[in-house]
Amino acid sequence: MNRIFSGMQPTRQLHLGNYLGALKNWVALQKDYECVFCVVDLHAITIDHTPDVLRENIREVTAAYIAAGIDPEKNILFNQSAVPGHAELNWILACHTPLGWLNRMTQFKEKAGKHRDNAVLGLYAYPVLMAADILLYKATHVPVGEDQKQHLELARDIAGAFNRYYGKEDFFPLPEPQIMGEATRIMSLRDGTKKMSKSDESEYSRINLTDDADTIALKFRKAKTDPEPLPETVEDLEKRPEANNLVTIYAALTDSTRQQVLAQHAGSQFSGFKSALVEVAVAKLAPISAEMNRLLADKGEIDRILKRGAERAGAIADQTVAEVKDIVGLLRV
């Protein structure tokens, strides 16, 4: 059986990278797969946070999923902390994860920065919790952006290590990453060599899903570019990080390829191309942000959707945790 699991952290607002690299693909995949979509709130407390803001962000990310087209009836949609199995399986998998594997994780090195001794244990152990998220549902496929690739390889390694240790080769499926489409890695609008990220201090580095038309226009107008007109080939485009990023965004927003975008816009100056980009971005994002606002006006309804999702997720999770306890030798009384 094929099952998808994926999630996003409710830290700050979702941005265009989250939408084009992941959420948009989830919307397409829900037709063909049984899907579990999670708002990974336990992951969000691995960095500084404000409790009241976190609570609102959890609702906001839930609203973003639904507004982008995720059907909360057909799929399971819930917040991670509402299903205790995530934390339980996390511990058991942590007891099967060599430190050497965690020491290789580049995201920890980036996030911990120079002050590694002050970084919290949760940030270091983060990829184990992520493996637990996926394996708790025995998910076979995980649609994510390119930046999550290393974490997914670790999840596969942990699944394999658990299966081998207990001689249960097929217990956890080895989850396949689904890194799809043109927009697997959207870059900052200020620096085409840096990933678009929620943690970038410059608001001008990213387009948020809730930005209004004027803000989107302003951010794209200020986006870094080079003085050349757009080239004719993808090969030439790839030598120019900022140009490549804007063309990639345009392609993903219009469900086309970079080659098709260049066929239409080669020779254009950035002023003209950016206007076209603003138009497609606003056309795509304005309905999502309007729907988010409509949904967020009724927080009770969002909480009910999450509660119902947590019950459905919990039924699968409880089953896996019981099986894992039996395998590990933890007495269920």
Q: Pairing relation of β-strands 176-178 and 141-143?
A: parallel
Closest distance of CB 197 from ligand TYM, Å: 6
Using the structure block, give the residue that is written with the tokens 């080769």: 169
**Which residue stretch of 16-24, 254-262, 284-292, 316-324 sits at the interface with ligand TYM (rule: CB under 6 A)?**
16-24
Gap between the Cα atoms of 211 and 192, Å rounded: 21
For residue 24, state whether it binds ligand TYM (rule: CB under 6 A).
Answer: no
Active site residue 111: yes
For residue 18, state whether it binds ligand TYM (rule: CB under 6 A).
Answer: yes
For residue 142, state whether it binds ligand TYM (rule: CB under 6 A).
Answer: yes
Please give the angle made by the CA atoms of 271, 272 and 277, to the nearest 5 degrees. Answer: 100
Active site residue 198: yes
Which residues are registered as beta bridge partners of 142? 177
Gap between the Cα atoms of 108 and 50, Å rounded: 21
Number of shown-chain residues binding ligand TYM (CB under 6 A): 26
Q: Please classify residue 74 by burial: count the beta carbons closer than 10 Å to its beta carbon, then call 0-12 exposed, 13-18 middle and 19+ buried.
A: exposed
SS3 223: coil
For residue 17, state whether it binds ligand TYM (rule: CB under 6 A).
Answer: yes
Q: Please classify residue 75 by burial: count the beta carbons closer than 10 Å to its beta carbon, then call 0-12 exposed, 13-18 middle and 19+ buried.
A: buried
What mask, x for binding ligand TYM by CB under 6 A, covers residues 193 to 232? --xx------------------------------------
Nearest CB to ligand TYM, comparing residues 70 and 130:
130
Single out the catalytic residue among 24, 138, 195, 224.
195
Which residues are registered as beta bridge partners of 6? 37
Active site residue 195: yes
Which tokens sit at 261? Answer: 């975008």
For residue 144, state whether it binds ligand TYM (rule: CB under 6 A).
Answer: yes
**Which residue stretch of 139-147, 208-216, 217-225, 291-299 sits at the interface with ligand TYM (rule: CB under 6 A)?**
139-147
Whether residue 323 contacts residue 168, with contact meaning beta carbons closer than 8 Å, is answered with no
**Closest Cα partner for 37 from 70, 80, 7?**
7
Instruction: Tell which one of 148, 178, 210, 320 touches ligand TYM (CB under 6 A).
Output: 148
Instruction: Tell which one of 66, 130, 288, 313 touches ligand TYM (CB under 6 A).
Output: 130
Interface contacts to ligand TYM, rule CB under 6 A: 5-9, 17-18, 21-22, 40, 43, 130, 133-134, 142, 144-145, 147-148, 151, 183-186, 195-196
Residues identified as active-site: 111, 195, 198
